[in-house]
Amino acid sequence: MKTELRTVGFKPGERNVFFHILTACNLSCSHCYINPEQHGTQTLSKEQIVKWLVLFVDPDKDTNVIFLGGEPTMHPDLAYAVKAAKEAGFFVTVDSNGYLFHDLLKRSSPKYLDFLSFSLDGPDSLINDPIRGEGVFDTCVGNIKEAVRQGYNVSVIYTVSSRNIDHLERMVPLLKKLKVKKFFIQVVGLRGTSLQSADPGKIQVSREQWLEVVPEVARSAAENGIHVTYPTVFLPPGEEFQCAGNVAENFFIFPNGRVYQCPLCEDHPIHSYQIENDKLIKTKGLTEDRFFQLEIEEGCVMNKLLQPDTIEYDQKGHPLYKISCCLLKQERG
């Protein structure tokens, strides 16, 4: 099957709402980005969820809502939230670690839930479970099979790090066997738990590793009928840098009411908006959107500030490449 590589540009009018309805989780993944000090420990009530969703409804624009946690299926009213979001006009996705608490498959329906996304970080338990927890692989794969059997559209997210990049290619036959429709390949970020490791820089992969492995695996998956999306990360020479904060609408909502526009900023109190008394309020002071306006040789300003080790320089101090906005994707399928 011939496939085409495309850069997924920031589409005018498209909006994405990443809605963390709680921060609690039954797992302790080694690359978890949740930071309770910055994101809160609350669990939103179903009434709050609906009121906050309404803040992001725009009848003139297509909006995707992705329910996240923590583990969102730990929320007893997730099925209610999914139905409410669909009825409000959203395209609805749930990102789960695979445990599917509170009988989500029975209590919800493919009629309301457009995609159910599962996180796997290895093609077998030997690779996945040291990262995500003992027994997670078998539980997740079992629930993927059941979700597919019940007619749900299923996608899988794989977070690439130095611990599992050598096994990424083995995901393709597994996903094909499981009848997964979409495959999202992510790059591990130095955020949350990752920063607490003894040498956090070692969990990231090099530019050479990424470019050698990821595009080829994406091509293979697409040729097997799986739609693949992955971050551009390193801009090709001559390609213009664009920041999603300037040209797109992305909102990352946390239970303490913080609303960010850039995921790299989430460990810091520089959020663009705050939800107070069920109203969306622009935050004053030095906020993330002030940084989006800056233009630098390295591309992404926030990456330069927060993850400078990802950039290499020549002898004159000029960057050898630009780091793209982390929300700029490439896809095959």
- Give one DSSP letter per residue of 111-150, joined into a string: TT-SEEEEE-SSSSHHHHHHHH-TTHHHHHHHHHHHHHHT
Beta bridge partners of 299: 296, 323
When divided into structural domains, the chain yields a total of: 1
- In this prediction, residue 198 has a pLDDT band, given cuts at 50, 70 and 90, of very low
Does residue 102 have a pLDDT over 70? yes
Task: Give the Å distances, CA to CA, from 17 to 14, 108, 139, 231, 232.
Answer: 10, 20, 28, 18, 21
Q: Element (H or E) spanning 227, and its range?
A: strand 227-231
H helices present in the chain, as ranges: 36-39, 46-54, 78-87, 104-107, 125-132, 136-149, 171-178, 207-223, 244-247, 288-292, 301-306
What is the C-alpha separation between 139 and 245, in angstroms, rounded? 37
Length of the chain equals: 333
Token representation of residue 266? 């989430």
Q: Is residue 303 part of a domain?
A: no
DSSP string across 46-67: HHHHHHHHHTT--TTS-EEEEE
Does residue 13 have a pLDDT over 90? no
- In this prediction, residue 35 has a pLDDT band, given cuts at 50, 70 and 90, of confident
The pLDDT value recorded for residue 65 is 97
Residue whose token pair is 């239970």: 255
Does residue 200 have a pLDDT over 80? no
Q: Is residue 277 part of a domain?
A: no
Are 93 and 108 within 8 A, CB to CB?
A: no
The pLDDT value recorded for residue 310 is 82
Pairwise pLDDT comparison (147 vs 235), residue with the higher score: 147
- In this prediction, residue 97 has a pLDDT band, given cuts at 50, 70 and 90, of very high
- Reduce the DSSP state of residue 15 to 3 states and report it: strand
Q: How far apart are the first and last CA of the chain?
A: 10
Q: Which domain holds residue 155?
A: 5-239+326-332
Does residue 192 have a pLDDT over 60? no
Q: Is residue 90 part of a domain?
A: yes
pLDDT digits (tens, 9 = 90+) for 238-266: 888 999 999 999 999 999 999 999 999 99
Q: Is residue 80 part of a domain?
A: yes
CB burial string 218-228: b at 16+ within 10 A, e below: bebbbeeebbb
The pLDDT value recorded for residue 11 is 67
Q: Is residue 321 part of a domain?
A: no
Cis peptide before 238 (omega within 30 of 0): no
* Window from 11-15, 59-63, 69-73, 130-134 with minimum mean pLDDT: 11-15
Q: What is the CATH number of the domain that holds 19?
A: 3.20.20.70
What residue type is 253 in one-letter code?
I
The pLDDT value recorded for residue 156 is 98
Does residue 64 have a pLDDT over 90? yes
Token representation of residue 134? 């003992």
Q: Is residue 20 part of a domain?
A: yes
Q: Is residue 294 part of a domain?
A: no
Mean pLDDT in residue range 81-92: 97
168 alpha-carbon distance from chain centroid: 17
The pLDDT value recorded for residue 190 is 56
What is the C-alpha separation between 297 and 318, in angstroms, rounded? 7
Does residue 10 have a pLDDT over 70? no
Q: Is residue 261 part of a domain?
A: no
* Window from 56-60, 95-99, 168-172 with minimum mean pLDDT: 56-60
